[in-house]
Amino acid sequence: MDERVIGRSGQWASVVGLGTWQLGADWGDVDDKQALSVLEAAAEAGVTFFDTADVYGDGRSEETIASFLRGRPDLHVLIATKMGRRVEQVPENYVLDNFRDWNDRSRRNLGVDRIDLVQLHCPPTPVYSSDAVFDALDTLVEEERIAAYGVSVETCAQALTAIARPRVASVQIILNPFRMKPLREVLPAAREAGVGIIARVPLASGLLSGKYTKDTVFAADDHRTFNRHGEAFDQGETFSGVDYETGVEAAAEFAALAPQGYTPAQLALRWIIEQDGVTTVIPGARNPEQARANAAAAKLPPLPEETFTAIRELYERRIEEQVEYRW
């Protein structure tokens, strides 16, 4: 699989990575055997970038990745984790002592002395403007606890503030055919600054797979049940912030745009891969078949221009007014 450099870090990631939120929590039950089989399928398909966080299953996702890699010393996989969501979300908690504590825990969970990439996990907006926060992150690099750092953001404005920081290696942001604002505001700035872009929620929480209907029922412990209106965390993380009924209808139209040989999910992933400035896209997977199908999007033919045009028209007609003003 093709790889791209993660901005200023000098590290490389496969163009399709693996998001591992599903392997920790909030997507229904995934047992340990199933989680390990997902990691194995992704790695065998050429994925060299795993994204996790210390709050995914309160460390379970990190520990599962460590368990898998211990059994596969032949693999070179770049691991990115996130920190900051295990405490009350106030700027005062984003200080060096906490960073060291969180980093110690993640390094134990992952079984490493130094983490490849650590990202602030969608912190409060003032954090992005704090010199002290980024000085503290520089200290973690100097102490060889981490090789590089980035941020995960909710809004384009947060992304632009972070990109202006001279040592930010990457910005992780929601980007998919139902969330296009970053194409206009964030990707050009990231390209100019040499900052990597990690595209998350690429399938709009599964909507863009075309599998769901208005009658679909998700498990009680699935965020697609308990966070539809932002009850637990930012609403944009669930279905990209799109009203579910609208999303299902628009997803059916999106599925009809898939060229021959593409699944709807692969169409969404391929659309993201081909955006200038994207480093990697990190779909999740609940089973090995999904992991392999997602990775296969990297090897599909480029999309025809008329498909890009049709996807843009669908977004502007059905989705744009719901999401652009918020994120």
DSSP reduced 3-state for 28? coil
Residues of the chain with pLDDT under 50: none
Q: 3-state SS string over 224-290?
A: HHHCCCCCCCCHHHCHHHCCHHHHHHHHHHHHCCCCCCCCHHHHHHHHHHCCCCCCEECCCCCCHHH
CA atoms within 13 A on the CB side of 171: 31
CATH of domain 3-324: 3.20.20.100
The answer to whether 120 touches 159, Cβ cutoff 8 Å, is no
Query: Amino acid identity of 1?
Result: M
Q: How many residues does the chain have?
A: 327
CA dist 155 and 165 (Å) reads 16
pLDDT score for 26: 64
pLDDT score for 30: 77
CA dihedral 157, 178, 265, 83 (to 10 degrees): 30
How does pLDDT run across 255-312, given as a tens digit for each residue? 999 999 999 999 999 999 999 999 999 999 999 999 999 999 999 999 999 999 999 9
DSSP letter for each residue of 125-185: GGGGG-HHHHHHHHHHHHTTSBS-EEEE-SSHHHHHHHHTSTT--EEEEE-BTTB-HHHHH
DSSP reduced 3-state for 5? strand
* Nearest partner of 239 among 219, 266, 212, judged by Cα: 212
CA dihedral 305, 210, 326, 54 (to 10 degrees): -110
* Nearest partner of 27 among 291, 206, 221, 209, judged by Cα: 221
How does pLDDT run across 108-123, given as a tens digit for each residue? 999 999 999 999 999 9
* Nearest partner of 123 among 98, 96, 91, judged by Cα: 91
* Nearest partner of 241 among 225, 228, 254, judged by Cα: 228
CA dist 117 and 53 (Å) reads 11
Structure tokens at 55: 């709050």
Query: Amino acid identity of 224?
Result: R
What stretch of H or E contains 119?
Answer: strand 117-121
pLDDT score for 199: 98
CA dist 12 and 209 (Å) reads 28
pLDDT score for 237: 95
Annotated domain spans of the chain: 3-324
